[in-house]
Amino acid sequence: MAFELARRPVIGQILGVRWAGLLVCVVAATAAAAPRASNPAFLGIEMRNPGSPDPCMVGAAIADSPADLAGLHTGDVVVAFDGAPIANCTALLGAITAHAPGDLVPIKLQRFGAPVVVKVQLSTRDALLGKVLGKPVRETHLVAVDGGTTYDLSALHGQPAIVGLYNPACVECAPLLGKFLAWARERAKKGGPVPLVLAVSSAESVDELRAMQRSLDVPLVSSESGGRDGDGSLFSRELVISDADRLGVVVIDVRGTVQYVGPIAPDSDDADAVLEEVFAAADQASRRGR
C-alpha cells in the first residue's frame, strides 16, 4: 500500500508531470506574494504556452479536475479569471493561487472566437494524486549533467530515491535538495540501502544545466526528450514544467513504486511539516522489501 499520513489539504499541487497518463500542469511563475501553503488552489489544465507573454491557451483539461468538470476545452483562451483580466499563463497561475481551494470562480474564455463564461470550483490535487501512489514507475532515461550517467528509476535494484523537480528560479529550493541529501546520508548510517537523491530539470540549454548543477549538492539530470503524450513516462521533457515557488518531490521505494508525490514551498508556513512527510515516506520507502 502506498505511503499515507493524515494528508492535510496543503499537499497536492505538484509540478506539471504526466503520471501514467495523468497530466498535471503548473506554469513557471506564481503569485507575487510568498505562498502561505505548499498546496494552493488547483484548476487542472495543461497550459499551451506557459512562460510566454501571449494569451494563455488551454492545451487540455486533466481528467476529473475542476477544469474538466467545468467543461474547459482544448483551445480555449482564458480572457478573465474571477473578473480580473488575464494577459498570459503567468497571470492565470497567479490568479489561481491567490484563491483558496473550494472557491467558486467564473472564468471568461474565447472559444472558436466566441465569448464563453464557465464557473469552476477550485480544489487541490490530492484526489488525483491518489491515482499515482502505489503505481510502478515506467522506464526512464534521465541523463546526468555531470558525467552522463543514465538513471532508470524503474530499475533502482533495491535502492529508494527522492527526486526533486527543480527550477532555479525557486531560490530556496536548492537548499531543500541539500536537506534531502543530508537525510539520505544519515539514513545510510543506520544500515540498509543508500537513498538516491536527484534533481530533475526541464531546461534544454547545456550551459544552463551546467550552471544549475554548480549550485546543487545532488546530481542534476535532464528530463526526457523521447517521451510522448500518453506513453506513461514520468519525466518526459515537455511535461516537466517547473514552478518558481515550489519544489515537486517524488519518493520511489526499493521496488520502483511511487510512495509519495507532492510539492513543498520552502517559504511557506507548512514547509517543516511537509519535510517531515517527505522523510517519513522516504524512510518507509527504504524499508519496503527488507
pLDDT given at position 214: 93
The pLDDT confidence band at residue 49, using thresholds 50, 70 and 90, is confident
Of the segments 15-19, 104-108, 161-165, 183-187, which one has the largest average pLDDT value? 104-108
Domains defined along the chain, listed by start? 40-123 (2.30.42.10), 133-287 (3.40.30.10)
Q: Kindly report the CA angle at 241 between 282 and 285, in degrees rounded to 5?
A: 10
What would the grid cell of residue 59 be?
A: 492545451
Q: Which residue has the higher pLDDT, 120 or 169?
A: 120
> What whole-number percentage of the chain has pLDDT above 90?
41
Closest CA to 61 of 40, 75, 51: 75
DSSP-assigned letter for residue 138: P
d(CA 41, CA 152): 33
Tens of pLDDT, residue by residue over 58-109, are 988 888 889 999 999 999 999 999 999 999 998 998 899 888 889 999 999 9
| Phi, psi at 247, each rounded to 5° | -110, 125
pLDDT given at position 213: 94
Tens of pLDDT, residue by residue over 233-285, are 556 443 334 467 788 889 999 999 989 888 888 988 889 999 999 999 999 99
Across the chain, what does the average pLDDT equal? 79
Tens of pLDDT, residue by residue over 1-30, are 333 333 333 333 333 333 322 233 333 333
Region of 148 on the Ramachandran plot (φ > 0 left; ψ -120 to 50 alpha; else beta) = left
> What whole-number percentage of the chain has pLDDT above 70?
77
- Is 282 within 8 Å of 33 (Cβ atoms)? no
